[in-house]
Structure 1
């Protein structure tokens, strides 16, 4: 990689990191060009050169952190041997991610992210296809084996991750009535009952 490419990548990283800090500190209303360039130390021209706009920057930031979350979920599944332990691993990995990367989790569970998903969900999903495929393959394998209910993949995904996402949103909102460690213990069994094939 040439020095120019290295500088370009470093600039991209600075802008992404700064945008996440600005979002975490000031919310969506604080996501201005001035705030991001000030926090990053990067020029306005560089922001537009690399991302085209603040929305382009934020979409790249969403894509980056969604990819990391999905990567952690896939890694968690690699160490399981049954559908049941897989459900437990998915729930725990998701909630651990939320605790360890609170700022990124705030963005991923925000109304901003929801609007982007509604407006451009297919592109976002296509961009994560390499990370989503192992999750779908894992579920498909256990559906075929008769361990998971024979439901369409989107419904299985919703039954497994919907409750976890709801708990994460509640915790991230600052409501002080959710203990993520307790949820990581209690939720997997309840979710398992909803997706296990009926004997």
Structure 2
């Protein structure tokens, strides 16, 4: 990689880090192009050069946060030998990510329905599918061997991710009082029970 490419990547990382910090400190209302450029000490031109638009920046940040979450989940499931420990590891990794990377989790859960992501839906979906592929590859042989309920991979993903994503979203919201320690004790086994064969 040339020095110019390295500088470009460093600038992209710095802008994404700044954008996440601005979002965490100011919320969706304060997440503006002016706030990000001012906080990061970058020009509008630089931001638009690297991301094409503010929506492009938001989509890139969403993708980065999502990839970090799925990397953590993949690492957890690949260390597991049984279907039960794997399902539990996926749930716990998601919850751990929510606690350890609160700003990224907040952006993921608050922005998942935001309009600025729709223009980049295909790119986000492709990135998501690529990151989910190792998890699916781990689950599929266990379904074939009868260690997991005979369900399509997408339904297994929904049954694992749906409840834990909602628990994480509620824990990040000021509207709900959700104890993630209690969730971490109870939810992994509850999700496993829903995916057990028979």
Residue 81 of structure 1: aligned partner: 81
The runs of 5 or more residues in structure 1 that have no matched partner are none
Residue 92 of structure 1: aligned partner: 92
Shift of 1:115: 3.5
Shift of 1:155: 1.1
Residue 113 of structure 1: aligned partner: 112
Tell me how large the CA RMSD over aligned residues is.
1.6
Q: Secondary structure at the match of 1:177?
A: coil
Measured at CA, do residues 176 and 29 of structure 1 come closer, stay the same or move farther in structure 2, by a change above 3 Å? Answer: closer
Shift of 1:2: 2.5
Shift of 1:62: 0.7
Q: Contact conserved, 2:80 with 2:86, CA < 8 A, in 1?
A: yes
**Length-normalised TM-score, structure 2:** 0.93
Instruction: Trace 1:131-170 onto structure 2 (pairs within 5 A).
Output: 131-170=131-170
Q: Contact conserved, 1:14 with 1:42, CA < 8 A, in 2?
A: no
Partners of 1:27 and 1:41 lie apart in 2 by 20
Partners of 1:121 and 1:50 lie apart in 2 by 18
Q: Are 2:127 and 1:127 aligned?
A: yes
Q: Contact conserved, 2:56 with 2:120, CA < 8 A, in 1?
A: no
Partners of 2:128 and 2:45 lie apart in 1 by 29
The runs of 5 or more residues in structure 2 that have no matched partner are none
Shift of 1:176: 5.7
**Length-normalised TM-score, structure 1:** 0.93
Measured at CA, do residues 119 and 147 of structure 1 come closer, stay the same or move farther in structure 2, by a change above 3 Å? Answer: farther
Mean Cα deviation higher: 18-27 or 117-126: 117-126
Mean Cα deviation higher: 171-180 or 157-166: 171-180
Partners of 2:125 and 2:138 lie apart in 1 by 18
